[in-house]
Amino acid sequence: MTREDTNGNTTVLAIRQGSLRGTTDGGVTAFRGIPYAAPPVGRLRFRPPAAHPGWPGIRDATRPGPSVPQGPGRLAAVMGARTPDGDEEGCLNLNVWTPAGAVGTDRPRPVLLWFHGGGFASGSGGWDWYDGARLAAAGDIVVVTANYRIGPLGYLHLPEAGADNLGVRDQAAVLHWVRDTIGAFGGDPDRITVGGQSAGAYSALALALDPATGPLVHRVVLQSGPWSLRPQAPEVAAHAADRFLALLGIERDEHLAKSLRDVPVADLLDAYGRVAAELARPGDAAPPMYPVLGGFGHRADRPTALAGGGLAGGGLAGKGVLVGSTTHEATAFLGPDAPADLVAAVTRAAFGEGVDTLARECAAHGTPAHVYRFGRVSTAVPGLGAPHCADLPFAFDRLDAYATAPMLGPVDAGDRELARSFSGALAAFTATGYPGWPAHRPGVEPYVRTLGGN
């Protein structure tokens, strides 16, 4: 697990699964599209992630791997559309950005493992939106992004067929891969910050609170988590699964697992979309399939974990927390013409109250929680305000990757400085536990307002 050679801007690195060829640019070396589990196809579809067997020779890790197959993202009108790049065969992959001088030294760097959002139904850690090079350089840290199964492939609830919170199981597998392997990239396996945005934040907190994975998590970054969303009740998940199977013409019998394996992935996605439309309710943005209470990684609901064993018996005790939201989260779902009072109410109920609860619980147990609110407003569509996802271009300092995103619009020197500042805060928190402002104290306004905040 040591570096073998460097040639120009190409670096070859040996890890336990085999050798990788990455690229070095601007003082950061990137290894992309690294498989962390066996392809979830054939007999492994709708099964927990299995160990990857490795590969002979040197694997090209200069380009991202494919995303998990998925339908169109719900927020394309806000974030910009993506060209489909899903492939079930190679979708369980991750990406690593490490300071060029970190590999092979005796000074391992702190690690940020970050999970994308997308309502548990879309997204990919390999997209340029989440390129971690500038974030790694900002704090001399190692950054990891990863795919996890989403939509029906990740959250169909059929335990009798092996489908039990598979997306959560994938995330746990990534965390264990990082613990076991990141040292080869110059990362410190004892200083892993787990973070994410939206569904990724929801997932990061679950990993930190669960007794099976919590001991591996050093700090937590929680961006715009949908905190009003409780894990899905098993009976609700079972109803969604029944409708899904009915649309596919599949019976719950001894052939269930094989029948599901034989369905083309496009048909699975089509049935998922139809279930989502059928079960949609006004004012309820919950997807039809997402982590199920009592399943893997979600043995207890969040309030119980936070108020009881989560903080007092492991969970977040002793971990630093960075948590925040955007000022107008709800416009991403309600539209730019939604009444201001409705936007404020939904933003508060779905996101803001959860931020306050997390900060209070952390303070009550002596766990430092640094809280922010992101308020920069796009001049392209001012009515959006600072919607859900508006902080992402700035968190990764990747304004150029969002050139078509209405939530970003034209950028100026102030925006570029904000991106450096915000990504620097995330990197500093990963490295030191201090993002640049004090932890929340009860009775003291906890928010740091950035450009455009009010």
Encode the chain (454 residues) as per-residue pLDDT tens digits.
444 454 558 899 999 999 999 999 999 999 999 999 999 999 999 999 999 999 999 999 999 999 999 999 899 999 998 988 999 999 999 999 999 989 988 899 999 999 999 999 999 999 999 999 999 999 999 999 999 999 999 999 999 999 999 999 999 999 999 999 999 999 999 999 999 999 999 999 999 999 999 999 999 999 999 999 999 999 999 999 999 999 999 999 999 999 999 999 999 999 999 999 999 887 778 999 999 999 999 998 888 887 765 565 556 888 999 999 999 999 999 999 999 999 999 999 999 999 999 998 888 888 889 999 999 999 999 999 999 999 999 999 999 999 999 999 999 999 999 999 999 999 999 999 999 999 988 877 767 666 445 5
| Spatial CA neighbour of 102 closest among 447, 338, 385, 431 | 431
Spatial distance between the Cα atoms of 343 and 148, rounded to a whole number of angstroms: 31
94 part of a folded domain: yes
What does the pLDDT read at residue 306? 79
What does the pLDDT read at residue 442? 80
355 part of a folded domain: yes
443 part of a folded domain: no
**Residue 361 a catalytic site member:** no
241 part of a folded domain: no
What CATH code is carried by the domain that includes residue 189? 3.40.50.1820
- For the chain, the 3-state helix, strand and coil shares in percent, each to the nearest 5, are 35, 20, 45
438 part of a folded domain: no
Whole-model pTM?
A: 0.95
248 part of a folded domain: no
Enclosing domain of residue 304: 3-233+288-432
93 part of a folded domain: yes
Spatial distance between the Cα atoms of 203 and 314, rounded to a whole number of angstroms: 17
What does the pLDDT read at residue 272? 98
Spatial distance between the Cα atoms of 290 and 151, rounded to a whole number of angstroms: 8
Q: Is the dihedral of CA 359, 365, 366, 368 positive or negative?
A: negative
Structurally, the chain folds into a number of domains equal to: 1
Which member of 122, 388, 423, 440 is catalytic? 388
Which member of 67, 198, 224, 378 is catalytic? 198
What does the pLDDT read at residue 1? 41
**Residue 224 a catalytic site member:** no
What does the pLDDT read at residue 285? 82
238 part of a folded domain: no
**Residue 329 a catalytic site member:** yes
What does the pLDDT read at residue 197? 98
Burial of 16 (0-12, 13-18, 19+ CB in 10 A): exposed
| Spatial CA neighbour of 430 closest among 204, 203, 107, 193 | 193
Spatial distance between the Cα atoms of 454 and 451, rounded to a whole number of angstroms: 9
Which member of 329, 370, 423, 440 is catalytic? 329
**If DSSP codes are grouped into helix, strand and coil, which group holds residue 153?**
helix
* CA 163 from centre of chain: 20
What does the pLDDT read at residue 216? 96
| Spatial CA neighbour of 198 closest among 266, 137, 141, 129 | 129
